[in-house]
Amino acid sequence: MENGSPVAVGETSPKTLTTVKNFFRYFKDEAIIILTPLICSIVLFLFPNHVIEARCAFTVLVMEVYWVSEVLPLPVTAFIPMVLFPTFGIMKSVDVARTYLADTNFLFLGGLIFAVAVERCNLHQRIALFVLSIVGSQPKFILLGFVLCTGFLSLWISNTAITALMLPIALSVSAELAEFNKDEEMCAMNENGEKLGEAAPLSASKKDLANTLNEQDLKMTKALLLGVAFSSSIGGLGTMVGTATNLVFFGQMPKLYPEATNTGINFFSWMLFASPIVIIGLILCWAILGLLFLRNSPPGNPRISAMLKDKYLNLPEVSFAEKSVAIFFFILLGLWVCREPQIFPGFALFFKKGYITDATSAMIIVLVLFAFPDKKPEITGAKKIVKTRLLDWKTVQSRVPWSVILLLGGGFAMAAGVKESKLSARIGEMLTILDVLHPMAIMSICIAISVFVTNICANTVTASIFLPIAAEMATSLKIHPLYFMLPITIAASFAFALPVATPPNAIIFASGLVKVNDLVVSGTILSILLGIVTIFVVQFWGTLVFGLSTFPAWAEAAGNVTGATF
């Protein structure tokens, strides 16, 4: 054999092994796409007496594997119920199609479109720089400013958009801090005590920062970036539209309990319930990152404060568009809060019961944004009047993440199939073996499972899979369904430990300044502590807000319907 020793009989040459490895590496995705249905088809033969449930389980398993492995785009995998549910006789095609554009999806779409209006007029940048300009120059307070600002904005705007906004601001602050420290070192090296010329400005680009930051400045940068990513996920918990996971919960409630007319769940009650988790979560995020990265940080310097104040003061005068969007924001918030606030009669009383939802309010404001001018109208004058609106369709079409809406729809479709096939009821009955445990222990198990899965799988997928199961388990155990569903929904947003766990993590990881170990250590600690906080908030505050200590009549009715048709 040329250029090497001959291969013995029965042995495989290194070249052949390399070829095989390359073949499987190249066709890995195709292999998963083909083999997954073949392997999962075993489920179809294991339960001959429960054919429909087995077929639904097959569909769910295939979707889970495709979603986790991402061998197909996530929204494309979401189309699978549209094919398999009618084919397997689980749901009619027309019924499956309706789930993809449910009321909750229009609420989400309204929130996304409003966020585009905020971004288009740069109102979010003004808010961010205002907050950061008043927090001072000490590293721990700069971090606190980023955490609080990101958390607040994430209540109303998608976590991904807020992280993308705050990232360049964080990098700019880090670059200014590093430049100041470099100037200090150069001054210290001047033997004559004369101040040297200012150091060349450091670029705020990711590549330059990675190459020029010293160890202390790098820790500060990591703390800021991790603070932005984590607080965006935490802040999104606070409102119904803050994160897609919450919308999965709100979308599944009417499907799981169609006869329930008053579950107590609305925009106001959710904010009331989630506020303690958000506030404590942001404080924990700040404290953990401060202890891990800022313990030996130098004292603050006025140049950082001056830079942030200059950036804020150098912003253009508040525009007519910014004022208009801010006013419409408060109008929308008022509509959401005052529809059915529970503590006093809401405006929904003036309409037919059940006809007006939060999606209605969102779409009203969206329509107004497309009609309202973005500049103060000038009736007189020689200038040619150019009509522009706060929003135009071209901008909305390019900036709204339509794929997320399809992904949500796929989750709703899967949940509807799990319910319709009685698969969730079957799993819920199997889980009644947990009735020997205290409900608080069962809730802790639910949170642990949700946190683990959401770090390797999309959080919307995690919620879509486990919420129907939790609802059926609670009904079987005669426990208030929200006692399990609320913590699962909340914990599904605790995706802090891995870069692929959630888009905000991926965005900061792509900077090259944050390592996997940084996410694993800080994210795991934060997830554990927030899990404990969630247990106590649900147990005590959730019971006070939603009456979780009693088994509601609407859940009893749903259980009777399930039992009658099973």
- Is residue 137 included in any domain, yes or no? no
Q: How confident is the model at residue 564 (pLDDT cuts 50, 70, 90)?
A: very low
Domain boundaries, position 23: 1-72
Q: Are 343 and 269 in contact (CB under 8 A)?
A: no
- Is residue 450 included in any domain, yes or no? no
Q: In this predicted structure, what is the pLDDT of residue 268?
A: 83
Q: In this predicted structure, what is the pLDDT of residue 13?
A: 61
State the average pLDDT for the chain.
Answer: 80
User: Given phi > 0 = left and psi -120 to 50 = alpha, else beta, which region is 299?
Assistant: beta
- Is residue 108 included in any domain, yes or no? no
Q: Cα(357)–Cα(340) distance, rounded to whole angstroms?
A: 9
Output the six-digit token pair for 167: 């990232």
Number of domains in the chain: 1
Q: pLDDT tens, 469-510? A: 888 888 888 889 999 999 999 999 998 887 767 778 877 876
Q: Cα(67)–Cα(308) distance, rounded to whole angstroms?
A: 41
- Is residue 132 included in any domain, yes or no? no
130 vs 15: which has the higher pLDDT: 130
- Is residue 56 included in any domain, yes or no? yes
Q: In this predicted structure, what is the pLDDT of residue 125?
A: 75
DSSP code per residue over 267-302 = HHHHHHHHHHHHHHHHHHHHHHHHHHH-TTPPPP-H
> Which H or E run contains 558?
helix 553-565
- Chain centroid to Cα 528, Å, comes to 18
387 vs 200: which has the higher pLDDT: 387
DSSP code per residue over 23-50 = HHHHTHHHHHHHHHHHHHTHHHHH-TT-
Q: In this predicted structure, what is the pLDDT of residue 508?
A: 81
**How much is the pTM?**
0.67
Q: pLDDT tens, 306-332? A: 777 888 888 889 999 999 998 998 898
Q: pLDDT tens, 172-184? A: 777 766 666 565 5
- Is residue 12 included in any domain, yes or no? yes
Q: How confident is the model at residue 364 (pLDDT cuts 50, 70, 90)?
A: very high
- Is residue 421 included in any domain, yes or no? no
- Is residue 65 included in any domain, yes or no? yes
Q: pLDDT tens, 243-287? A: 888 888 888 888 888 766 677 788 888 889 999 999 999 999 999
Is the confidence at residue 72, as pLDDT, over 50? yes
Q: In this predicted structure, what is the pLDDT of residue 374?
A: 87
Angle, helices 423-430/459-477, rounded to nearest 10 degrees: 60
